[in-house]
Structure 1
C-alpha cells in the first residue's frame, strides 16, 4: 500500500480525518515497526558478563525463545537451577567460562537443540 492509497481509502468517509493525520498515523506505525524490529534484534543477544551473578534461577530466562547468544562468563555463578535454560530453544552460543560451577543438572541443555558452542 502506498501513502496515496491510505488517503484515497479515507476519502468521502469522514471529513474530520485529514491527510496529515493519516500520514502521521502511517509514519508512527512505521516507526513502531522499526523500533520493535531493533528491540527484537537486541533481544537476540544478552551479555551478562561480569555482573557478579551467583545463582541462575529457573525463572531467569523464561519467555526468551528468540535469544540466540547468552554471555554469562566472568561472574560468580556456582548454582544453575534445573530448568533454567528450558526456554532457550534458539540459543546457539552459551558462554559460562570463568565461573565457580561445580555441578550441572543432567537435563540442563536438553531443550537447546540449536546450541553449537558452549
Structure 2
C-alpha cells in the first residue's frame, strides 16, 4: 500500500468533519502513516480546543491543561476516539495573565493550608 492508500480513511474522516461542522475553526492538521487512524489538530487558542471538544462530543474530563516550563507557556488539548479514529486537538500558548492568576491561586492555597 502507498502512503495515500494508508491515509485515505483518515483523510476522508477529516473531510467528513469539515462538511458536518463547517463553522469549526480551522487548525493545522497532521496525519501519521505510522498510525493511519490518527488525526492531530494544532489549533489557534484554548477557545478553539473547547469548540472542537463540544462538536465531537468529547467529555470535559478528557481535556488536559499543563504548564510548560517557564515563559508563561501552557498546553490545552484532548485525545479522544471519534468514529473509530484517534483525534488529538491541542494548542500551546503563552499568557502572562493566566500565569499570574495561577500563581495567586497557588499562594492563596498555601496560605489556607498554613492556617
Shorter-chain TM-score: what band?
under 0.3
Structure 1 or 2, whichever has the larger Rg, is: 1
The structure richer in strand per residue is: 2
Structure 2 length as normaliser, TM-score? Answer: 0.24
